[in-house]
Chain A
Amino acid sequence: MTNSKGRFGVHGGQYIPETLMNAVNELEEAYNKYKNDPEFCKELETLFNEYANRPSRLYFAENMTKALGGAKIYLKREDLNHTGAHKINNVLGQALLAKKMGKTRLIAETGAGQHGVATATAAALMGMECVVFMGEEDTRRQALNVYRMRLLGAEVIPVKTGTATLKDAVSEAMREWTKRIDDTHYCLGSVMGPHPFPTIVRDFQAVISKEIKQQMLEKEGRLPDAVLACVGGGSNAIGSFYHFIEDKSVRLIGCEAAGRGIDTFETAATISTGKLGIFHGMKSYFCQDDMGQIAPVYSISAGLDYPGVGPEHAYLHDIGRAEYTAVTDDEAVGAFEYLSKTEGIIPAIESAHAIAYAMKLAPTMDKDKIIVVTVSGRGDKDCAAIARYKGEDIYD
């Protein structure tokens, strides 16, 4: 594959219709031009700090540490960002880039709605038009976020095809991009899709691990022993891992959504249950059947309910640099309640997957060890759905 670009080992590439090739080439060119441009970097840093409330806190979770009785636990508080999740990091970067490219319209897919809200926010800020594709099933699970996006001036299009979840929203956003390229940037929300998206999104999210490293050195004078983050497509995880990849003493642990269990069909744990395939512009691991049909995945978390994983995660798994584990709905809901009661922090149900694994891991480690868990988002959006899961009927 001599011409193929954007590879992470065998993964990645650009498996997209010819119609989009010049669009991604143009994006790559613009990104290479601006990524080291001092003016662009300064503008983005100002947006990060003044608008998105960066740097986000690295908080020592003392109650949780004491209660679990093992490693010290720090929480990287991406939930405190403007719009309530890590998604804003990538979106501000891409929106600024799109603006430099002369684009006036942003389109995006969204699962839980966090990326859609972030995109609608950036579009409002920068005076751009915004259209968000969201699986119809997810518009019901995350009705509040639909309202937020509309309030921010975005058009939300419920996607009814397939399983009516995140994968279908991605497909529909890709279809929309092939229809209208000239004035439109596809603001992809995770480290997936065709090159250069996995690299661009990773670079904008890498601010998470850059800050963790600096904050950890300030607080503890050393690197952590493990960094944990939840993985759907994998953007907050790659952002949390990136600046530690070369630091081999730091364990990198991605927590996938097992749904009702990895031995059931109702799971979204791609690395645990998927196999190598080609879909949504990339080669990576996908949940699929024997004939290559993409599987209808399931997780309580709309943001992790995706049948694939970003190509860099697939590569980090292949070379053994990162570990991937699967966390069930029940465990995630348990962690959602636990963190709320123990630390007074309501995490997104996505982030609760990482918290759940930290609850298992910390007690097995010595007290002088340190774990960082990225709380990728806040959980307000999930309260109604979790209440329903627990059998309580409340209104959004």
Chain B
Amino acid sequence: MTKLEQAFANGKAFIPFITCGDPDLDTTAAVVRAAAENGADIIELGIPFSDPTAEGPVIQNANLRALKGGVNTDKIFELVRELRKDVTVPLVFMTYANVVFSYGADRFISKCAEYGIDGLILPDIPYEEKGEFLDYCHKYDVALISLIAPTSENRIGMIAREAEGFIYLVSSLGVTGVRSEIKTDLSSIVRVIRENTDIPCAIGFGISTPEQAHDMAAVSDGAIVGSAVVRIIEKYGKDAPAYVGEFVKAMKTAVIS
């Protein structure tokens, strides 16, 4: 069992997302530690991109703030090196294909392995294009996380059978961002996933409250929360770590209850 799969072994998982460098990398490091200490099972680290086409306004703005602050891929690798001195929770990068491609796929993914990144989420790499990075991911043993969407339908089995690490099930149509309710029939999608693979499946997009996280985790193996975390960081800035810690604790409690 990989480190990512193990993260789901102690009950339902809670997976927060953080945009690196928003508002600065020291705060990001403190937020990651607070999340890890308060029960995050995996942490998604966003490498900002100038034009994040899969994101709603909250994460778009976090990306722009981080880039304006001067963060870049090299500085984020250094952040990971620093974090890995004491943080043991699995870490995955979430970014866009061009960030990896322009760095050099081999160089980027080998560095992920060397610095302690367990997986890679690239929302603009669908099943058909994963060949772009898959060989390097296999070579260096970094999971390329597959996404499944409410519109995947006939594609679910194909994607699930080759999925690695965990499956990121997108809760609703549209981009990331807080939603008041999630209407997709997720349990029937999860059923098809489970017919095709044993690897865990976590649901993300639109989840902001403990109640939603509980409901999503109840029909899957965990809940992923991005915009709601980023909003806390946006609101509290350098003071965010304590607030994110509290939020993570509440969400983790909700998913396992």
- Decide whether A and B are members of one complex: yes
Measured CA separation A22–B149 after assembly (Å): 10
Query: Considering the chains assembled together, what is the distance between the CA atoms of A293 and B98 in angstroms?
Result: 8
Q: What 0/1 pattern do residues 169 to 213 of B give for CB contact below 8 A with A?
A: 010011100000000000000000000000000000000000000
A212–B147 Cα gap in the complex (Å)? Answer: 46
B60-84, CB under 8 A of A: which get 1 and which 0?
1000100100001110000000000
B236 at the binding interface (Cβ < 8 Å): no
* Interface-lining segment among A76-84, A175-183, A199-207, A261-269: A175-183
Option from B96, B148, B151 in Cβ contact (under 8 Å) with A23: B151
A21 CB contact (under 8 Å) in B56, B100, B101, B128: B128
Interface size class of A (residues with CB under 8 A): 35 or more
Q: Given that A17-B123, A22-B153, A23-B151 are contacting pairs, would A286 and B98 also be in contact in the complex, using a CB cutoff of 8 Å? A: yes
Stretch at the interface among A36-44, A161-169, A363-371: A161-169
- Of B67, B72, B132, B152, which one neighbours A1 at CB under 8 angstroms? B132
Q: Is B125 an interface residue (CB 8 A)?
A: yes
* B128 engages A288 (CB within 8 Å): no
CB distance from A97 to the nearest CB of B (A): 20
**Pairwise interchain contact B53-A175, C-beta atoms closer than 8 A:** yes
A152 within 8 A of B: no
Asked if A175 and B175 sit within 8 Å, CB to CB, the answer is yes
- Complex partner residue of B51 from A15, A171, A290, CB under 8 angstroms: A171
Residue of A nearest to B175 (CB): A175
| B53–A171 CB distance below 8 A | yes
In the assembled complex, B86 has its CB within 8 A of some CB on chain A? no
Which chain A residues numbered 207 to 224 have a C-beta less than 8 Å away from chain B?
A: none
| Contact status B49-A16, CB under 8 Å | no
A5-B128, A278-B101 in contact; A18/B175 too (CB < 8 A)? no
- Residues of A near B102 (CB, < 8 A) are 275, 277, 288, 290-292
A99 CB-CB contact with B under 8 Å: no
A280 close to B103 (CB less than 8 A): no
- CB within 8 A of B126: which of A18, A171, A276, A286? A18
Nearest chain B CB to A22's CB is how many angstroms away?
A: 5
**Cα distance A278–B49 in the bound complex, in angstroms:** 12
A178 and B173 within 8 A (CB): yes
Contacts known (A21-B128, A162-B51); A15 close to B97, Cβ less than 8 A: yes
Tell me whether A174 is interfacial, beta carbon within 8 Å.
Answer: yes
Since A19-B173, A161-B57, A175-B56 are in contact, a sample of 15 more A-B pairs with Cβ atoms closer than 8 Å, ordered by chain A residue number, is A1-B132, A3-B127, A3-B128, A3-B129, A17-B54, A17-B123, A17-B149, A18-B123, A18-B152, A174-B53, A181-B173, A277-B98, A278-B96, A292-B103, A293-B49
5 A-B residue pairs with CB within 8 Å? A3-B128, A17-B53, A178-B173, A280-B51, A291-B102
Q: Which residues of A are in contact with B by a Cβ distance under 8 Å?
A: 1-5, 13-23, 161-162, 167-168, 171, 174-175, 178-181, 275-281, 286, 288, 290-294
